[in-house]
Amino acid sequence: MKHTIIILLLMLLAIGVTNSSAKPKTVFKASQNTIESLLSGLSSENLGLKSSCAYMIGEFRIEKAVIPLMRILRENENEDMRIVAALALYKIGSPIAINAVKQAIRFDESERVSKHCASFYGDFAKNRFIDEEINEDVAKTALK
C-alpha cells in the first residue's frame, strides 16, 4: 500500500511536469528508494501497478531497468504492457534499449505492438538525425 501511494504521487508529479508546455522540462533524479520501488513494481502481478512503474522508469530514465523491461517486451502476454515497456525503453534511450524496440518491430506477433515500436524507433531516429545535423553545423561554424 505504501509503495502504491508513492508511485501514484510520482505519477502525478510527472504528469504535472510533462503537461506544462510553457516551462522547460525539468529532469528529476530518482532516489535509490524510488528506483528500488519501481523495479520491484515491475514484477507485480497487478497490471496497473506494473505498467505505471514501467512508465515512470522511462520518465526517470532508469537504466537498471532495461533488462526487466526487455523481458516484459519479449514475454508479456498483454499488448498494452508490451507497448508501455517499449515506450520506457525508448525514453531510456540506451543503445541496448533502442535495439530491443527495433527488434520488436520485426519479431512481435502483434501488429499493434509492432506499429508502436516502429513509431518509437522512428522518433528516435529522427531526433538522432536532427542532433547530428546540429552538431555538423556547429563543427562547420567552428572551422570557419
What residue ranges define each of the domains in the chain, with the CATH number in brackets?
A: 2-143 (1.25.10.10)
Model pLDDT for residues 34-91, shown as the tens digit of each residue: 999 999 999 999 999 999 999 999 999 999 999 999 999 999 999 999 999 999 999 9
Model pTM?
0.74
Q: Which triple of cell numbers denotes residue 89? A: 525503453
Model pLDDT for residues 13-49, shown as the tens digit of each residue: 555 544 433 334 556 688 999 999 999 999 999 999 9
> Quick one: which of 36, 34, 31 has its CA closest to 7?
34
Instruction: Report the amino acid identity of residue 128.
Output: R
What is the average per-residue pLDDT within 98-125? 96
Tell how far CA 136 is from the center of its chain.
Answer: 28
